[in-house]
């Protein structure tokens, strides 16, 4: 890094977002732009390094305003790349490691730069192989939680890489069951029950040597059934376990029965066995009760889609009405102020219009 300047301790402020990436003397990224230093432990860890920033990189706020990633277009590329990665893992090809970490960085980018659209992506209707979209869902949720927790960049990448690859040991069964819309046989259930060990074994054969990554893959299911305590599990393992439960209960392509949002939230807490509910609360704080992409009925009987979570009041999201009281679709969705009496939120919508909507237009990418 030739265009670098020293970062002094006076440049690092508690409780404030970093305006630039922070590197050590060997040009290794220590903290990403936007990271908030929230404890003395982080500051103490940094004291072992000589810190630098790159003067050619845009500051965090300016960069975010100029960088636009249409997640509804990018998802096609992510799915194709993950399919190739899964094939590499099945064939024990070590070349997949760089591909996995690059995809993990891309997912963290969309979580940071386009969080509202990225959360909506979790709920879009699609025809992707179930196992691939499931892995992307897990990675997005883990990425959001890792960012919210202000983790180091290396930790974020390890957690998201683990989320992307945790289900590789059961992907074929996942796709088969989803396509046939039936319950698993006894042999298939055995694979579903033991897939973390299989995924761990497959990754180890591709020369994954990162123990943090491997342990998250191996232990996240054991974390759910109590075979591993929270102290043993670690944050990344718990995050993936929580993402696993949230996906199961809110998955709009579930094979068992459709859940209303309120029923799903009740089931989420019922299925979360942790006495310390920090990470369960964390995912709900991120998603909120009205997450982007969910459909609502308003006081005037319109159906609206949530575009953005409420900034100051989580119960007052930004929405756009997509259909009138008789279900007639609007050509141009209308912004509605749900804090106004005439447009207050009445309930979650029974029907949705996912297949007929242009998500890129709704989120102003085009």
Q: What is the pLDDT of residues 15-39, one digit of tens each?
A: 777 888 888 887 888 888 877 777 7
In DSSP terms, 316 is beta-bridged to: none
What domain range includes position 312?
Answer: 295-362
Instruction: Report yes or no: 342 and 299 within 8 Å, Cβ to Cβ.
Output: yes
Domain termination site, one of 35, 66, 97: 66
Mean pLDDT of the chain: 85
Do 172 and 34 belong to one domain? no
Domain termination site, one of 66, 81, 102: 66
Do 275 and 173 belong to one domain? yes
Note the pLDDT tens digit of each residue in 224-280: 766 666 667 789 999 999 898 888 776 643 434 445 566 666 666 666 665 557 887
Do 256 and 208 belong to one domain? yes
Q: Can you point out the beta strands (E) in the chain?
A: 4-6, 22-23, 29-31, 52-54, 295-298, 303-308, 318-323, 329-336, 345-348
Do 129 and 115 belong to one domain? yes
Do 23 and 83 belong to one domain? no
pLDDT value of residue 257? 41
- Contact partners, residue 7, CB within 8 Å, separation at least 6: 22, 51, 52, 53
- Torsion sign (Cα): 228, 229, 234, 237: positive
Of 153-167, 260-274, 295-309, 314-328, least confident by mean pLDDT is: 260-274
What pTM value is reported for the model? 0.80
Percent of the chain with pLDDT over 90: 47
Residue 153, pLDDT > 60, answer yes
> What phi and psi, each to the nearest 5 degrees, are found at residue 304?
-125, 155
Do 188 and 225 belong to one domain? yes
Residue 159, pLDDT > 50, answer yes
Of 21-25, 54-58, 107-111, 331-335, least confident by mean pLDDT is: 54-58
Domain termination site, one of 66, 83, 100: 66
Of 258-272, 299-313, 347-361, least confident by mean pLDDT is: 258-272
Residues 228-244 as b/e (b if ≥16 CB within 10 A, e otherwise) read bebeebbbbbbbbbbbb
- Alpha carbon distance 98, 28 (integer Å): 17
Task: Find, among 208, 85, 88, the residue nearest to 139 by Cα.
Answer: 85
Note the pLDDT tens digit of each residue in 39-77: 777 777 888 888 888 876 655 554 444 457 899 999 999
Do 25 and 82 belong to one domain? no
Do 343 and 263 belong to one domain? no
Do 110 and 25 belong to one domain? no
- Alpha carbon distance 177, 180 (integer Å): 5
Do 158 and 11 belong to one domain? no
Residue 204, pLDDT > 80, answer yes
Residue 10, pLDDT > 90, answer no
Do 62 and 75 belong to one domain? no
In the chain, how many domains are there?
3
Q: What share of the chain is helix, strand, coil (3-state, %, to 5)?
A: 50, 10, 35
Report for 23-37, 152-166, 181-195: range of highest mean pLDDT: 152-166
The DSSP secondary-structure symbol of 320 reads: E
Do 257 and 156 belong to one domain? yes
327: left (phi over 0), alpha (psi -120 to 50) or beta: left
pLDDT value of residue 27? 80
């Amino acid at each position: 890094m030739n265009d670098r300047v020293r970062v002094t301790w006076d440049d690092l402020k508690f409780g404030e977002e970093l305006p630039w990436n922070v590197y050590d003397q060997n040009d290794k990224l220590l903290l990403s732009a936007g990271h908030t230093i929230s404890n003395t432990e982080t500051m103490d860890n940094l004291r072992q390094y000589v810190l630098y920033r790159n003067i050619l990189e845009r500051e965090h706020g300016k960069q975010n305003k100029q960088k636009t990633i249409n997640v509804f277009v990018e998802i096609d590329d992510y799915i194709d790349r993950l399919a190739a990665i899964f094939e590499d893992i099945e064939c024990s090809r070590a070349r997949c490691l760089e591909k996995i970490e690059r995809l993990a960085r891309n997912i963290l980018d969309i979580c940071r730069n386009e969080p509202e659209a990225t959360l909506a992506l979790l709920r879009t209707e699609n025809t992707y192989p179930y196992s691939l979209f499931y892995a992307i869902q897990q990675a997005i949720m883990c990425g959001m939680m890792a960012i919210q927790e202000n983790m180091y960049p290396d930790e974020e990448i390890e957690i998201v890489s683990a989320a992307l690859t945790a289900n590789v040991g059961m992907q074929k069964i996942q796709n088969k069951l989803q396509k046939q819309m039936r319950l698993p046989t006894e042999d298939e259930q055995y694979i579903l029950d033991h897939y973390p060990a299989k995924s761990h074994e497959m990754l180890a054969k591709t020369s994954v040597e990162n123990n943090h990554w491997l342990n998250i893959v191996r232990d996240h299911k054991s974390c759910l059934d109590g075979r591993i305590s929270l102290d043993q599990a670690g944050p990344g393992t718990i995050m993936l376990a929580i993402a696993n439960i949230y996906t199961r209960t809110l998955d709009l392509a579930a094979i068992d029965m459709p859940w209303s949002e309120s029923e799903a939230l009740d089931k989420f807490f019922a299925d979360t066995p942790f006495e310390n509910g920090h990470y369960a609360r964390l995912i709900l704080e991120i998603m909120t009760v009205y997450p982007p992409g969910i459909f609502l009925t308003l006081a005037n009987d319109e159906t609206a889609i949530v575009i953005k979570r409420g900034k100051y009041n989580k119960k007052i999201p930004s929405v756009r009405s997509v259909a009138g009281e008789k279900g007639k679709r609007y050509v141009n969705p209308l912004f509605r102020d749900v804090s106004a009496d005439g447009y207050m939120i009445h309930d979650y919508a029974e029907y949705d219009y996912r297949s007929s909507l242009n998500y890129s237009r709704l989120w102003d990418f085009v």
